[in-house]
Copies of this chain bind each other. A is one copy, B any other.
Amino acid sequence: MSVSIDQQIGESKKAIDGFLDQYLKNQIHRAEKLDPSYSELWKSIYKLFDSGGKRFRPIMSLLSYQALGGNHASQIISTVSSQELLHLSLLIHDDIIDRDYIRYGVKNISGQYQDKYKKYLSHESEILHYSNSAAILAGDLLISSSYQLLLQDANDNHIKQLVSVFDDAIFYVAGGELIDTESAFIIDNKSLIINELKTAHYSFVAPLIIGAILADSSDEIKKLIIQLGILVGTAYQLVDDSLGIFGDDKLTGKSTSSDVSEGKRTFMIEQFYKLASKDQITKFDKLFGKANISTAELEEIRSLLIDSGAHKSNLEKINNLKSQAEEIIKQIPIEDSSKNIFYELVKLTLNRIK
């Protein structure tokens, strides 16, 4: 089974990559005809797309579709691939908000434009402002492109359901991003609702339910699929939070110091404040949220999270959500061999190191 799903994922990724590669090249060409400066924006998007991304959401839709009995996978590549552009648009805008300029190990849109604009502008703040402006526009373009691809080849009877999924996904993720951003300075222990809104809906519920819509699943199945998405998605974010501090930069492609420097109030951090001693909290507060944190300081943060039990508590929560997700899968009225696809998905999602 494990070999089979890996093969399936590999083939899906190839089809999705090929499709999006061509779409973005066409956009570069389309922009080039209007103005060379404009095509540079699309080239910067292409570069980002081409440098990384696991295409996890489109792949998840394809797996969900196949597990639920869909057997025209080649006809839904554009529809499922739309999610990757939505994802890219959200990453581009999130990076502006998080003041990150590296993504997938390369410069993101703002980062690439800083290099371009520093030839024309001298003040650091002006370079940053205009580079972020280009990145705002790049994200806007990709939101629009994602809707375009979502509907391009969709059947008439799926269109309104698909639009509603995207509308929900963006409604939730932007809400989650807002509360998440505010959590850096408005302390309110909202990590789990943030995870549900920011990650679970657009990264799990949407991909899984898009598969179900395209496979014409029953309402009963769709309801279970939504619950599954919320559970796995919330757990995924807890894994991600952990990797954000305990992961390997080189594998994740994201700096392990940025969450700490931003003072992100993850579930693990909330648990720390519940479980830690006064002394541990005093030490922690001196470092957490500090800009330009050193390797030694990051190591101290890690020790405090482990010693207090916060790290363990995060792991327990992940395992608890995982068990609930497996219970839901049991209830989906499909063949056991199809259920295995969902079990594998849960494993792949939660046992990751990057």
Contact = CB atoms under 8 A, between A and B. Distances in A.
In terms of DSSP, what is the predominant structure of the interface of chain A?
helix
B140 A175 contact: no
A9 interface: no
A13 interface: no
A97 B138 CA distance: 13
A197 interface: yes
Work out how many copies of this chain go into the complex: 2
Interface stretch (A177-185, A219-227, A239-247): A177-185
A177 B133 CA distance: 9
Given A97-B133, A151-B151, 9 more contacts: A35-B197, A37-B178, A93-B137, A117-B185, A130-B181, A130-B182, A130-B185, A140-B143, A144-B171
27 contacts: A27-B171, A35-B175, A35-B197, A37-B178, A37-B179, A37-B186, A38-B179, A38-B197, A96-B133, A96-B136, A97-B133, A99-B129, A117-B185, A120-B186, A121-B185, A130-B181, A133-B181, A140-B143, A140-B170, A141-B170, A144-B166, A144-B170, A147-B147, A147-B167, A151-B160, A151-B163, A152-B160
Interface of A: 27, 30-31, 34-35, 37-38, 41, 89-90, 93, 96-97, 99, 117, 120-121, 129-130, 133-134, 136-137, 139-141, 143-145, 147-148, 151-152, 156, 159-160, 163-164, 166-167, 170-172, 174-175, 177-179, 181-182, 185-186, 190, 193, 197
